[in-house]
Amino acid sequence: MHSVELLPDAVTERAVRDVWRHLADRGLPSQAEHRHPTNRPHLTLATADHLTPETRARLLHVLAGALPVSLRLDGLVRFSGRVRVLAWAVRPDDALLRLHETVWRTLRDVPDSGRTNPLLDPARWVPHITLGRRRDAYWTVSADEVFFPTAGAPPGIWTGEWAAARHYDSVTRTVKHLVP
């Protein structure tokens, strides 16, 4: 599976990693436990079975013209299912919604891309940055227990920029930057 992901600015990345560390220090499932060098805070825009060189070139053009994009993180979101996930909710503005739809349609409309993930369809997308995930996790923590207060904002509110984009290949577990 190939994913197209946005990466936050350095200050936001540090804030997310601090939350990861805070969860791990409390003995809760945390992305800090995931030690692979490709693991970093990101927002998944779309996935497909294959990413052809032509599609990659098209994505480079789209992303280079759109980034940076405003980033707003706001509170917790929980996902249940086979794996339970605790995430920092992304509150998208119009520019991020347009970028997401363009990237998703780019992958969906190329026959050689294969399947796309239906959960990333613009009508179903729940943008987030994963904080922790595990099959046996039960997320009973509140935002006050997860986030650090920041000057002038309630816990869990953060603003920054989506500054870069990458392509992640889950088979080879490698990344290629799409936009620096």
Q: HEC string of 46-71?
A: EEECCCCHHHHHHHHHHHHHHCCEEE
Beta strand ranges found along 16-171 (DSSP E): 43-48, 69-79, 84-90, 128-134, 157-169
Res 12: pLDDT: 96
Spatial distance between the Cα atoms of 171 and 180, rounded to a whole number of angstroms: 23
Res 113: pLDDT: 74
Res 44: pLDDT: 97
pTM: 0.92
Give first-to-last CA distance, the chain, whole Å: 22
Query: With 90 as the cut, is the pLDDT of residue 18 above it?
Result: yes
Of the given ranges (10-19, 104-113, 155-164), which has the lowest mean pLDDT?
104-113
Q: Give me the mean pLDDT over the 10-37 stretch.
A: 92
pLDDT tens track for 107-154: 888 777 777 788 899 999 999 999 999 887 777 888 888 887 666 677
**DSSP class of 37:** T
Name the nearest CA neighbour of 6 among 150, 129, 138. 129
Res 150: pLDDT: 66
pLDDT tens track for 64-93: 999 999 999 999 999 988 889 999 999 999
Query: With 80 as the cut, is the pLDDT of residue 180 above it?
Result: no
Give residue limits of the domains in the chain. 2-179
Cis peptide upstream of residue 68 (ω within 30 degrees of 0): yes
Res 69: pLDDT: 97
Q: Dig out the tokens for 89 from the structure.
A: 């909710």
Collapsed DSSP state (helix, strand, coil) of residue 106: helix
The crossing angle, in degrees rounded to 10, of helices 53-66 and 94-108 is 170
Asked whether the beta carbons of 106 and 58 are under 8 A apart, the reply is yes
Instruction: Tally the C-alpha atoms within 13 A of residue 119's C-alpha that lie toward its C-beta.
Output: 7
Q: Dig out the tokens for 14 from the structure.
A: 């540090």
What would the CATH number be for the domain defined by 2-179? 3.90.1140.10
